[in-house]
């Protein structure tokens, strides 16, 4: 009897357990178990997570019953934690936790008046998460909010362009896209949202000659590119600071701007700095950015941060106690993206592990310790940039020079080690795709195995960050 096919046996057991063990425990904890062996009448499985042992053991009797039924004899059952499996599955497990659960949370947002217009919104490149109705207004974004609302209600009529600037994670993209949704809801105007990075890539792509290398192909490509950005009523350009030093793109933005502006079309621009602080950008372009209204968004005060959390908790229909809200708002004080990331992590973790959201659990989940300083993505970014003597702008730019690529990898490494932020949050923070973040993490870990001096460097930086 010892010679059974453990994989097949376990598959059969899973079928029986599916009806016995309630969701989501079945999917989250039972399915990932890996059959390990069958000897001395004991069937063992491996788990990659220590946490799952008490959860699985709660269902010990059901599992023994299913095993005995499948094998036709009394069988004992054991669950074993495997470090190796943990490592192997870590990536996969993280992915489930980070992505699916957080997506799930986002999907729970209350229905919106804009929902019927999904088609239009996706062709405009807009994300329904960013609406006026879930933007919390406080002292530090009040002016920007009202300017954005005014523009959305009468595009092209008042402030053109509207230029919104401010630090990372303070709601610029949110306001920019909210304008788009509102315009689509109120009018039949054509809206286009673009990230500057995509505009640059698209532009460079159009410059490259077509497949046959013929000039006519290239002209056709460029005409198509121009049509895409000029044949719109409202153009929303995100993170325009990325055009610094890029002559060709600057020229193209300049011409696009003039065509639209002359035709009374609305332009809204966001940036992490005001126009006058752009280096390596022609004055004629900078002055155009200032033709309409310039407004900034600043770090919100504690009341606004708490209001944002309360709104998120209501929208996601997840009750969060007041002391937890206050605590998170105090800890994550500089960046709403980080605040939101922490909130999502706490909700996802408590849901996955079926534990209540209490202050004590929250502190554990975000790795908070009263004695040691709480480390945020902003701290890591600042310290790593300082260590490598590079500017924050360079780090967040699109440049792929080797020192910048390395510094980004180091930041991703510490972000994963020292914070509880999801890969998506880290990606948003660094303005990189989720896949790039995963790749960075793999690369740096590989390099650390091969290169002892990098390990020392990382240890030095870790000390500086924790200081």
Interacting residues toward ligand ADP by CB under 6 A? 130, 134-136, 141, 166, 168-174, 308, 336-337, 340
Strand 162-165 vs strand 266-271: parallel, antiparallel, or unpaired? parallel
Q: How far is the CB of 39 from ligand ADP (least distance, A)?
A: 52
Residue 339 Cβ vs ligand ADP, minimum distance, rounded to whole Å: 7
- Do 206 and 164 form a contact (C-beta atoms < 8 A)? no
Integer Cα distance of 177 and 199 in angstroms: 16
Structure tokens, 409: 């990898």
Q: Choose among 324, 339, 406, 308: nearest CA to 168.
A: 339
CB 91 within 8 A of CB 41: no
Task: Rank residues 130 and 278 by Cβ distance to ligand ADP and give the closer one.
Answer: 130
> What is 231-243 written as a DSSP string?
S-SEEEEE-GGGG
* Minimum gap (Å) between residue 408 Cβ and ligand ADP: 17
CB nearer ligand ADP, residue 343 or residue 368: 343
**Least distance to Mg ion, CB of residue 173, Å:** 3
Angle 104-182-147 from CA coordinates, rounded to 5°: 110
Q: Which is closer to Mg ion, CB of 298 or CB of 353?
A: 298
> Residues 312, 352: contact at Cβ < 8 Å?
no
177 binds Mg ion (CB under 5 A): no
Judged by beta carbon distances under 5 to 8 A according to partner kind, the member of ligand ADP, Mg ion, none in contact with residue 135 is ligand ADP
- Bond preceding residue 295 cis, omega within 30 of 0: no
Residues 6+ apart with CB under 8 A from 453: none
Of 134 and 376, nearer to ligand ADP (C-beta) is 134
Which of Mg ion, ligand ADP, none interacts with 171 (beta carbon under 5 to 8 A by kind)?
ligand ADP
Residue 375 DSSP SS3: coil
Which of 173, 335 has the CB closer to Mg ion?
173
Residue 48 interacting with Mg ion (CB under 5 A): no
Select 98 or 239, whichever has its Cβ closest to Mg ion. 239
Minimum distance from residue 314 beta carbon to ligand ADP (Å)? 12
Of all residues in the shown chain, the one whose CB is closest to ligand ADP is 171
Report, in Å, the least distance between residue 312 CB and Mg ion. Answer: 18
Is residue 374 classed as helix, strand or coil in its secondary structure?
A: coil
Instruction: Choose from ligand ADP, Mg ion, none: what does 246 bind? Cβ within 5-8 Å by kind.
Output: none
CB of 141 to ligand ADP, least distance (A): 5
- Residue from 9, 36, 48, 173 in contact with Mg ion (CB under 5 A): 173
Cβ nearer to ligand ADP, comparing 337 with 408: 337
Query: What is the distance between the alpha carbons of residues 320 and 437, in angstroms, rounded to a whole number?
Result: 30
The stretch among 12-20, 22-30, 124-132, 166-174 that binds Mg ion (CB under 5 A) is 166-174
Name the nearest CA neighbour of 239 among 278, 197, 280. Answer: 197
Q: Which two tokens stand for residue 89?
A: 């599955």
- When the beta carbons of 129 and 286 are compared against ligand ADP, the nearer one is 129
Q: How many residues bind Mg ion (CB under 5 A)?
A: 2
Segment interacting with Mg ion, rule: CB under 5 A, options 63-71, 116-124, 165-173, 307-315: 165-173
Q: Which CB, 32 or 171, lies closer to Mg ion? A: 171
Cβ(286)–Cβ(274) below 8 Å: no
Asked if 151 and 266 count as a contact pair (C-beta separation under 8 A), the reply is yes
Stretch touching Mg ion by CB under 5 A, among 13-21, 169-177, 301-309, 459-467: 169-177
300 near 294, Cβ under 8 Å?
Answer: no
Nearer to ligand ADP, 5 or 133 (CB): 133
State the binding partner of 180 from Mg ion, ligand ADP, none, CB within 5 to 8 A by kind.
none
**Given the complex with Mg ion, which of 35 and 171 has the nearer CB atom?**
171
Q: How far is the CB of 156 from ligand ADP (least distance, A)?
A: 23
Residue 395 backbone phi and psi in degrees, to 5: -60, -40
Calculate the CA 45 to chain-centre distance: 34
Minimum CB–partner distance for residue 110 and Mg ion (Å): 23
For CA atoms 89, 94, 100, 104, the dihedral sign is positive
130 to each of 106, 114, 173, how far by Cα in Å? 11, 11, 8
Task: Give per-residue burial for 231-267: e unless 16+ CB within 10 Å, then b.
Answer: ebbbbbbbbbbbbbebeebbebbbebbeebbeeebbb
- Cβ of residue 270: shortest distance to Mg ion, in angstroms? 6
CB of 392 to Mg ion, least distance (A): 14
Residue 295 interaction partner, one of Mg ion, ligand ADP, none, beta carbon < 5-8 Å per kind: none
Which residues of the chain form contacts with Mg ion (CB under 5 A)?
172-173
């Amino acid at each position: 009897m010892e010679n059974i096919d453990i994989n097949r046996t376990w598959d059969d057991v899973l079928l029986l357990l599916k009806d016995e063990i309630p969701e989501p425990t079945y999917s989250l904890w039972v399915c990932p178990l890996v059959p390990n062996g069958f000897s001395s009448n004991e069937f063992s499985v491996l788990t990659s997570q220590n946490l799952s042992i008490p959860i699985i053991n709660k269902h010990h009797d059901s599992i023994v019953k299913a095993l005995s039924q499948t094998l036709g004899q009394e069988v004992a059952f054991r669950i074993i934690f495997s470090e190796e499996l943990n490592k192997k599955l870590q990536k996969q497990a993280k992915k489930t936790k980070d992505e699916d659960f957080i997506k799930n949370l986002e999907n729970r947002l209350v229905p919106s008046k804009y929902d019927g217009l999904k088609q239009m919104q996706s062709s405009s490149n807009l994300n329904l998460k960013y609406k006026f109705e879930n933007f919390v207004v406080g002292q530090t974004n009040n002016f920007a909010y009202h300017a954005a609302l005014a523009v959305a209600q009468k595009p092209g009529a008042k402030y053109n362009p509207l230029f919104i600037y401010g630090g990372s994670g303070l709601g610029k993209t949110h306001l920019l896209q909210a304008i788009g949704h509102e315009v689509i809801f109120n009018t039949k105007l054509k809206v286009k949202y673009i990230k500057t990075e995509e505009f640059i890539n698209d532009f460079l792509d159009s410059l490259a000659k077509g497949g046959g290398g013929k000039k006519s192909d290239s002209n056709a490509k460029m005409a198509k590119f121009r049509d895409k950005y000029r044949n719109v009523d409202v153009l929303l350009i995100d993170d325009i600071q990325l055009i610094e030093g890029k002559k060709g793109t600057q020229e193209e933005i300049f011409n696009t701007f003039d065509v639209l502006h002359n035709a009374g079309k609305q332009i809204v621009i966001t940036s992490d700095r005001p126009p006058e602080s752009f280096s390596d950008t022609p004055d004629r372009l900078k002055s155009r950015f200032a033709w309409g209204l310039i407004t900034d968004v600043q770090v919100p005060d504690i009341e606004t941060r708490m209001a944002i959390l309360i709104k998120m908790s209501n929208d996601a229909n997840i009750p969060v106690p007041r002391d937890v809200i206050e605590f998170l708002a105090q800890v994550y004080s500089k960046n709403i993206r980080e605040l939101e990331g922490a909130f999502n992590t706490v909700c996802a973790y408590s849901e996955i592990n079926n534990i209540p959201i209490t202050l004590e659990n929250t502190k554990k989940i975000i790795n908070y310790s009263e004695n040691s300083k709480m480390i945020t993505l902003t701290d890591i970014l600042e310290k790593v940039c300082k260590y490598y003597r590079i500017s924050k702008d360079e780090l967040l730019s699109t440049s792929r020079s080797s020192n910048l690529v390395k510094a980004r990898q180091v930041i991703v490494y510490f972000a994963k080690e020292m914070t509880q932020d999801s890969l998506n949050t880290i990606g948003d923070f660094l303005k990189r795709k989720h896949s790039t973040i995963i790749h960075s993490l793999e690369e740096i870990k590989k390099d650390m195995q091969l290169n002892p001096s990098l390990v020392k460097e990382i240890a030095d930086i870790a000390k500086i960050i924790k200081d």
